[in-house]
Structure 1
């Protein structure tokens, strides 16, 4: 792992670990703010307990942040954190609903900060750490299978021709032995 990844991943994860712990300790105020988002989520089959959902989001943030910071399954951890960031941002920073210009500006800044974090998480989610991606490796494996199939067919043709020549030679030797 490169030095940049070793330093950048914990830096990116710190916000999520701290925010997740806060959601676990103090879900009440956040549950109140999350109510509009939770109302939409309950239509998708999630439970209608705002504090439970805020705590679950906090657990995902702490777990994903810890995994990302330590470099364990960083791509999956980044994807999980990106998934937690979307509802958090929509619930906590709806600048479009604010009427006070100063509050609106502050909420917009926080919204854009979270948007920047989301961009960093998306980059971390696709970062292969210098190794080829799964799609590339699958493509190469498919090419390898095709190459093996072609080689096997060619070798089978050669073996068939060789066996025919050998059979003709043996037949000729047997015929000569009889005469």
Structure 2
């Protein structure tokens, strides 16, 4: 693993460990903000048949636990692409619920929430990069293209050899 990944992954994970831990430990401080999102998402999930708790405090705790777990996995390099994608997915509703600058009438509060949204967008960018980082190894798409190219080449060679064999067989019959 490159030294940059060894340093960057734990640094990228710190905010999620910190925030997730506090969400699990004391969700009551976040429930009012979370209600903005949970009141809309829970009915949608239920309509799709997804079993999901309706209590916002439970959902805040679950989100916090997911963030701590995925951040720990990212920091230690265990399934880093999957854990980065999970963190990115959990960051979106967290940002929408926690920093609704469009609802603030106070200029200072609006500016503060805009700054937090910008910070979270920066984190989202880093997480998306981490989610697609193959560490210099070929990705699945490259491997699939390579297999298809090799199969086409093999088919051309087999067809060419078959034509040669057919010509030889035709000559030997005469």
> Under a length normalisation based on structure 1, what TM-score does the superposition of the two structures give?
0.88
Task: Single out whichever of 76-85 and 94-103 deviates more from structure 2.
Answer: 94-103
How many correspondences in the alignment?
Answer: 168
1:141 counterpart = 2:155: no
Select between 115-124 and 101-110 the one with higher mean Cα deviation.
Answer: 101-110
Partner in structure 1 of residue 90 of structure 2:
84
Answer yes or no: is 1:116 the counterpart of 2:129.
no
Structure 1 unmatched ranges of 5 or more? 169-179
- Distance between the aligned counterparts of 1:165 and 1:21, measured in 2? 80
2 CA distance for matches of 1:71 and 1:121?
13
Q: Bigger radius of gyration, 1 or 2?
A: 1
Give the Cα separation in 2 of the matches to 1:6 and 1:62: 18
Q: Deviations over 1:1-55 (max 9, x none)?
A: 1111110011001111111111111111212210011111012124321112111
Superposition map of 1:33-52 within 5 A:
33-45=33-45, 46-52=52-58
Write out the 4+ residue segments of structure 1 that deviate beyond 6 Å after TM superposition.
none
3-state SS of the aligned residue for 2:137? coil
Aligned pair partner of 1:64 in 50, 63, 70:
70
Indicate the residue corresponding to 2:61 in structure 1. Answer: 55
1:125 matched residue in structure 2: 131
In the alignment, structure 2 segments of 5+ residues that lack a partner are 46-51
1:153 to 2:164 alignment? no
Query: Secondary structure at the residue paired with 1:43?
Result: helix
Q: CA RMSD in A?
A: 1.4
TM-superposed CA distance for 1:133, in Å, is 2.3
Counterparts of 2:31 and 2:140, CA distance in 1: 39
